[in-house]
Structure 1
């Protein structure tokens, strides 16, 4: 599709965000434009700002400037319909770990109104409607979340590491489903992940977030044009070198500290002796 502003699914221009006024920005000058039907991977190291960016796009964080739009609408002040955000924090909600049967849980969020898509996803994700939410594994609970979030027809899907708990077969079937949604319905997917196996044919674009910035132009990706894992590895090595340089310039360093206040086991246990 042509990159016309009226057709853009996601349009983010020069986004800068800090947790508090005066703090160093966690996102700075972020730019991302996606057309309808794009499947975009969001790559970056832990702490690069991927999750924060996705939550802003989902309308869950207020920014000072109005420079993020989805389907032509401001993501916070006038959020559009048809946007689904799925993140890892969902599994920490006590409700989804309570003694509720999966069929009742899905019906409580409208599953009965989307029976055909729900049943298709139940098969793809290998979900048992008779499971009790408090008895199943984290991976099975994640499958229920995906079924719940994907059973309505969405226009834009924001995924934040939600496939990390899935086994390789379920994950592969899910990726096929998502790719089909983009091809047949023109749905747009922005997917942050650190697992690149089997994704060589999934994206048509790749966005790199490096220490809160987008250091390179959006990569237009052709199926298996290169080893996706090696591309990610190269970028992450680059990210780590830059991060270490910045930390050293501020007098900070990760890993063991040579000037520790305790040098031996006795000193350590005396310092952290809570028996009294």
Structure 2
């Protein structure tokens, strides 16, 4: 098995929204804001090369939205899904599986592209199975008012219409092995219904793709919960359990949204779980 970081692009989000009730004087120390109160965000995906199988975890925003839409997110840098796949030695047609932690636009937008003449949409990975879970699919396709702007019709239904959409068989508990994908999955409901966090055994380490349960290294303290979460009190409980497990079992936490810290470990301290070490992907995924 080989793991490849796939940088799908960078954007910015409001720091206050990203840290909820935490005062700016605190979060600005770890995630400094620009003059518009925006902080740097990554869309760092992960490619699992395992035999003849190539599984891509999340796909970033994609490129099909309007200039007005992207203007809300202050895109920066020169990363793209296409370029990152090429750097890893692959083409999008090589991908056999696309696993989406959840269906917010910044996690699955790259799964669907315009067709050639821009009259409609088509899946971006023509040879892949697209994986979500039935609970989350229903949640995303019948969205509540709070999340409606994050679940975009054009990101979702082309996967279903292509016949390439598949549902993970969820275990009875919120953590278990996926026979379909070959790694463990933690299900979490605080950010959105049935978000999925892959736990990958790799060279004697457990690599956890943190998605939106832990957005950046600045979010390590348990009360630092995003304003985007639909059930923040549930996030507190889920995050406490996860962070303590990460410290106790020395998980390597792959940060999807931290533009400056790629992989981290954490440890227990008198103040609770805190940052232990920071790594580049190339240091761990080699």
TM-score class normalised by the smaller sequence: 0.3 to 0.5
TM-score, scaled relative to structure 2: 0.33
TM-score, scaled relative to structure 1: 0.34
- Between structure 1 and structure 2, the one with the greater Rg is 1
- Name the structure, 1 or 2, with higher relative contact order (CA <8 Å, separation 6+): 1
